[in-house]
Chains A and B, each alone.
Chain A
């Protein structure tokens, strides 16, 4: 077992490079996610590493040894793959499919020994799929099939596990289940997991290393936190100004451009109002918010004009004045239910001033009811 490295690798089909000059070292015993838009070549990269297709140029090494010099059987004991290819087996049970993973380890006739059976059981259990062992694979749901296919990959007992879009077509519950299983494999079994995902938020949550593919090249590669900070995520998905929060991995619909509502301060009810107004394509602004507030991040992704203060510092009179001038341009004010705390004393002052200025001011709860009545 050793590190998987790609050096100056060109990959693609029929001599036509899809991604050029890939230089990558996958972190050992960690989980790496390859992110990229549709058709970017993520699957091609994975299939090249799995030796399903030949690279066009460059080198792939595992523990310093050139991969294409290794026999396919030996490589199958080092690297296993879970693909998106349809598996058409009409009579095989969950157990039968998982047991296929023992193929590179069994003898000439493929008879399973005691050790093989133990591995099959362990793999089924690791994927929480022991209950599926006697069910017919063809009749399982997508989520159950995926669990079985991942168990088959684990059953191959390889230090490296490749997975092509292991979460697509699954509901959020199964997505989390699948990723939890993979995390466990990394943390407890020390496996190197390399997968492609379509969900940046999940990738940020569960992968240690990110590889971003855009156009015909790798635009970023590194430890998840660093890649997120670098701004490459926004570039990857083409969110030039807002719309996407790389730290949360969340994409938000933008707010409207009207001057409909101003939120003076924020409380627990504010976020759902943000979302409701976005759905109604209304324009709104807010202030003064603390920048460690989740609302601040989401508001930014929604491209909402906001006045902000650093975390844990009291709102200053200057910021309150800024918020006041911003609020003046909006039709309706929604006043947050704020505690009597020095941190937001200026926000309370702001609400009073807006009322005195003759603005229509609603409390959060009141405004929510009015919106509900209107709809």
Chain B
């Protein structure tokens, strides 16, 4: 398949995916304890409903924030996964596997519970985000130090998983030591959920992740060169050191901004890039980045919808759903890949 054809094909695919995302969003807003038909949802969204009406309150105060969060959260994690897969030259890399999400969660956990113990509560979403970023980058630095010494990528992934388990164990300790009603939300958050969103958090999530989508897209050409391996990228004039730092920052920021508000969300970062590669049959980052963003959005909204509807009025942790959907997909893709080889 030549590049021109891919360009045409991915444009059609992009249009279809955006349409699917829009339809899914409308339905996701409509579905819940009170069902709102799509036309009602659209009427409310386009400002043709009475602000005092129950539909208006349900859409604006309850459902919309959650749908937006799951959309941008899914997109951010997918893109972070894609970038990490390119950085580590391994299709199984993702922010969850490499322990980056866990590091971010630990940092935020310490901040939140430390605050509870010290008698104040951290509510500023920017501070939560920066805390998560510190945790995410700390783990990435550890991983990079390992990757400089350990040549085997498999070993590296295992190290990442161990770092992740270690951070999770520390979070477990935090939870155990602060068994208190005031932190019910904290427990929900550690399990992973898009249901804890407030509008200020959404502003941070949307603004930061949107900016990073653009930054990642601008890195597309160099990311393509890096797909050939670092040595080849160097001979093609790419400043690989700067590019690596760029990838680390962007994927760290993306992971942090999701984890700060939604806790640990597994498998999206690994499955969505796989799905996009398979669907588009390309390695071209300039096509994969936007498609990961859109497919990640679809995946996030879909999984969140399932997590809050299957055992309503109770909720599943988002990771439960993403694992049910993500694990079979990843296994299927891996089997299919092995069959070719």
Q: What secondary structure prevails in chain A residues at the interface with B?
A: loop
Count of A residues near B, CB < 8 Å? 42
The 0/1 profile, CB within 8 Å of B marked 1, for residues 64-105 of chain A is 000000011111110111010111111111011101110110
With a CB–CB cut-off of 8 A, which chain A residues contact B277? Answer: 90-91
- Find B286's partner among A75, A110, A139 (CB 8 Å cutoff): A110
A52 at the interface (CB under 8 A from B): yes
Indicate whether B320 reaches chain A with its CB closer than 8 angstroms: no
Cβ 8 A contact of A73, one of B227, B237, B280, B340: B237
Query: Is B221 touching A103 in the complex (CB atoms < 8 A)?
Result: yes
Which A residues touch B280, using CB under 8 A?
91
Q: Roughly how many angstroms separate A112 CA and B89 CA in the complex, as a whole number?
A: 25
Q: Is A366 an interface residue (CB 8 A)?
A: no
Q: How far is the CB of A110 from chain B (nearest CB, A)?
A: 3
Indicate if the CB atoms of B229 and A80 lie closer than 8 Å.
no
A41–B239 Cα gap in the complex (Å)?
25
Q: List B265-317 residues whose CB lies under 8 Å from chain A.
A: 277, 280-284, 286
Is there contact, CB below 8 Å, between A83 and B232? yes
CB–CB B239/A72 < 8 A: yes
- A156 close to B (CB within 8 Å): yes
**Are B227 and A50 neighbours in the complex by a CB distance under 8 Å?**
no
Select from chain A the residue with minimum beta-carbon distance to B233: A103
B286, A96: Cβ atoms closer than 8 Å:
no
A138, B282: Cα distance in complex, Å? 12
A88 to B89, CA, bound (A): 8
Q: What string of 1s and 0s marks CB contacts (under 8 Å) between A299-336 and chain B?
A: 00000000000000000000000000000000000000
Complex: chain A residue closest to B90, CB-CB: A88
Is A173 close to B, CB under 8 A?
no
Q: Is the CB of A91 within 8 A of B236?
A: no
Whether A77 touches B231, Cβ cut-off 8 Å, given contacts A89-B283, A96-B284, is no
- Across-interface contacts of A71 in B (CB, < 8 A): 237
Interfacial chain B residues near A50, Cβ < 8 Å: 231, 234-235
23 A-B pairs in the complex with CB atoms less than 8 angstroms apart = A47-B231, A51-B234, A71-B237, A76-B237, A77-B237, A81-B232, A81-B235, A85-B231, A86-B229, A87-B229, A91-B283, A93-B1, A96-B2, A96-B282, A100-B224, A100-B228, A103-B221, A103-B237, A103-B238, A108-B218, A109-B286, A112-B3, A138-B340
Query: A: which residues have CB within 8 A of B?
Result: 47, 50-52, 71-77, 79-81, 83, 85-93, 95-97, 99-101, 103-104, 106, 108-110, 112, 133-134, 138-139, 156
Interface residues, chain B, CB within 8 Å of chain A? Answer: 1-3, 89, 91, 218, 220-221, 224-225, 227-229, 231-232, 234-239, 277, 280-284, 286, 337, 340
Q: What 8 pairs across the A-B complex have the smallest Cβ distances?
A: A76-B237, A110-B221, A73-B237, A103-B236, A104-B237, A81-B235, A52-B231, A92-B283
